[in-house]
Amino acid sequence: MPTLGSYLKSKYISEQSEDSLLNYASGIYFNDLLNILHNVYITPNKSTRLVPKVLATQLQECYHHEGIRLIVQYLMEKNIENIVSIGCLNSPLNGIQFKGINSSLMFLESKSMELIREAIGVHNFLDLLLNTSALWKPSNVLIWGGYKTLPFNETKQKQRTVSVRNMLYKSIANGKHKPPVPETPKLLLGLIFDDISTTQCMKKPAKRYRKVYHHLKALHINYENQKHRFAYMVENICTTSNLSPSVSRDRIIKLIHVVTYKIIPLELFGTELNRTKIMRYVPKIINGTIHSRTEIHSIIHGIKLTEIDWVKPVSNLKLTKQEFSRARMMLSCFILWLFNHFICNFISCYFHVTNNSQDERLCFYRHHMWLKLTKKYMSKYFSEHLINQPDKINTFLSFSNNKDFIGRLSLHPKRETFRLIVKPFKGKFNDRVSFMTYRKRIVRPMNSILNKIRNNNSCSSVIDIVESIYKFKAQLLNSHDELPSIHALKFDAKNAYDSLPHDLIDEIVKERLNSFTEKDVIHVQLLQHMEPTGILRGQKLIVTDGTNSSTLFTNNAKRMPKLSADSHETFCFTKDQILSYVRSQYRQTCIHTKSRSYFRKVGVFQGFPLSGTLFNIVYDYLVSELYELVGYDPETIIIRLVDDFLVLSTHENLIKKIRRLISRKLGKYNLSANRQKTVMSSEFISFTGVSVDVKTLVCYKHLKDYNNSPLHASSFSTLYKQLTSYGRMWIRHTCLFDVDYTKSGVDGALSNFVALLKSLVYN
């Protein structure tokens, strides 16, 4: 890929006048032009376009910036997909307009590009823009060039999947509103096949559904006859012990099999073998995680459709290709209903399904037991942290009509208490566009701004923790012949999200905004990633305070990990707007239930989109103050992951100094350390899934520290891909397997590798 300077010399400028281009630039523009010639890389298009003579004539008779606008107008009129015209609106009244700052347009209208146009001529300049693609190498962002949009009819439909989503976090009242089987066989038929012809008020259903309708009548009769015995079945099969209030997963699996075999006629499965193959996925789903998904084609793989009478138009004849596709579709609809509706609704009628705060495995509690466990915690939490107010304005009917940001409560068991998560309301299906627009234009840009102004002195994952420790180890080895004695202190904040002072959030955000820029307006540019095929997918937001020149095309621009293009859509926010929105995240967020809203007295709700960012902004400041407390000692490092802290230092007195500080409540941050989890050691210490040998600063990840949840795959090749992807993720992105003496060393890398292999076997 040649540079712009090399490309111009090879195609448009003769060898005798190689330096003629730079002769056009005066001293003011010389460095800018030189920068463009060396940092812009050109790729010729596979197919070339003829330069339009009319457009070339128009460009010769107008100023440079007017000519660029004419080029954009030409691209729009001819429906030529070019990076320059992304987001362009061609209005007959107002002319060419963009949704935001067009960085490509500003680049082309610059004085340096005007000099290039004068040097190579209008015809060659048009040929350059129409038949090449230009990449700004420092930031990996395209300036001009073609791209592709994915046509709607070519988009792949999402595979329909079986999941446990419909049974999660349901209350006891859910069973009254969503029974496993609807009131009539006709409603059941419409629910399974989701076809308008099945729900119309007619004497008979459509012809292709008449066979299955007969079996659904039998199913409905079985359900009506057996539903009064469900409570007895649950009590008999799912007994709870005094040692554990939850019901074991194997008993849940047994209950599902018993109920399914009693209610669902065998004719709907065809044969015993087909039923066994389908029900084999029940343990895989129940023993999975809250995020487990099983594609429907994996379940029906190996099912003999010819043995299922109701999917065939004529019983004794072979299926044609079209009939086979329809039969497969009908069976898929039935299995989706069986897992996603019948089983999920039945379980949610008698059990509260949730997951532990530190694990994603499913936990099943009888509703009365769950209420007994959570009643005391909820009463105490609501009285200490929340304000109860009558509310008839906010509802779960419409997102756009609500006054405040409302959410639903979900509790996740911890070792001795619960973690309270509030899941924000995203609107009903008809109102989802309003929520998506709000998230795109408000939430994501605001979140990008707040993350940009952070101190960023914390870790975001276990991988970051390992890298920080090994970086500290290398720093010590550079200063000493061998590792000195090291001391470690681990502690975590008690109820961290619930104790954030609102005035401190406001104060720190205001200070960070002023330190980021003196200007009152902050801009957020929207970029899209380009695939090798030329299709634009995904989005990335760039925060900038500059409007006169694009920050994407400067030498100090941050390099994008993927080839990107500016979508020319810019979001602008004043500092007052940012502060006002931040305040709304703790003043106007609430738990809404039964026409009442519960607002916060202090802290933020865990689960709302900006809560984590606001928490990090405040606790980044806490880390800075701890560094100030130890005098910014180069042989001391403070590692933070959310509300967990790890301090490593060669000076024991500094460790004790921090321990004395956290032994009492920090009034400014309203922080109290959890004394039971505060550990001081000079040997081994466990921190957020990583075991650290303090003497050698070697990190170990044992088998128990990995996510050993079982993987689901329809074939061995799929399972192999999942396992290799899982293993490659850890080996590539961590230093745990690096044999360098400044990192894990030979023994540490070998131990970590064995633990990873064991984890793969468990999965």
Q: What is the spatial distance between Cα 665 and Cα 644, in angstroms, rounded to a whole number?
A: 16
Is the separation of the CB atoms in 580 and 586 below 8 Å? Answer: no
3-state helix, strand, coil in the chain (%, to 5): 50, 20, 35
pLDDT score, position 550: 54
Predicted pLDDT at 195: 58
- Helices 111-120 and 4-11: crossing angle in degrees, nearest 10, is 20
Non-local CB neighbours of 36 within 8 Å, separated by 6+ positions: 4, 112, 113, 116
Give me 289's structure tokens: 């995680």
Residue segments in the chain with a per-residue pLDDT below the cut of 50: 16-18, 152-158, 196-199, 201, 548-549
User: b vs e for 55-72, b when ≥16 Cβ sit within 10 Å of the residue's Cβ?
Assistant: bbebbeeeebeebbbebb
The alpha carbon dihedral of 54, 60, 66, 72 has a sign of: positive
Burial of residue 394, with CB atoms counted within 10 A of its CB: 0-12 exposed, 13-18 middle, 19 or more buried: buried
Task: Let me know: does 422 contact 598? Beta carbons within 8 Å.
Answer: no
Question: Model-level pTM?
Answer: 0.85
Read out DSSP for 461-474? SHHHHHHHHHHHHH
User: Could you give the C-alpha distances from 351 to 36, 63, 345, in angstroms and in order?
Assistant: 65, 73, 10
| CA distances from residue 560 to 440, 552, 567, 655 in whole angstroms, order as listed | 20, 10, 14, 39
- Residue 433's pLDDT is 85
Q: Which of 341, 330, 336 is nearest to 181 (CA)?
A: 341
**Which residue from 278, 252, 409, 370 is spatially nearest to 332, judged by alpha carbons?**
278
- Give the Cα separation of 612 and 233 in Å (integer): 43
What Å distances lie between residue 621 and 60, 454, 496, 635, CA to CA? 58, 9, 14, 20
Rounded Cα gap, residues 405 and 600, in angstroms: 12
Dump pLDDT digits (tens) for 455-495. 888 898 888 999 999 999 999 999 998 999 999 999 999 98
- The half-sphere exposure of 89 on its side-chain side, counting CA atoms within 13 A, is 9
**Token pair in block for residue 426:** 């995203």
For the chain, how long is the longest CA-to-CA vector? 97
What residues have CB less than 8 Å from 467, skipping those under 6 apart? 734, 735
Query: What's the pLDDT score for residue 549?
Result: 46
Report residue 698 CA to chain centroid gap: 31
- 289: which strand partners? 361
Nearest to 194 by CA among 345, 89, 341: 341
In our burial notation (b when 16+ CB lie closer than 10 A, e otherwise), range 487-508 reads: bbbbbbbbbbbbbbbbebbeeb
What does the pLDDT look like over 221-242, one tens digit per residue? 999 999 999 999 999 998 876 6
> Which residue, chain included where needed, has tokens 């459709």?
305
Beta bridge partners of 295: 161
| pLDDT confidence of residue 123 | 92
**DSSP string spanning 473-542?**
HHHHHHHSSS----EEEEEEBTTTGGG--HHHHHHHHHHHHHHH-SSSEEEEEEEEEE-TTSBEEEEEEE
Range 552-582 burial, b when 16+ CB lie within 10 A, else e: bbeeebeebeebbbbbbbbbebebeebeebb
User: Can you list the domains of the chain with their CATH numbers?
Assistant: 4-144 (no CATH), 161-360 (1.10.132.70), 701-762 (no CATH)
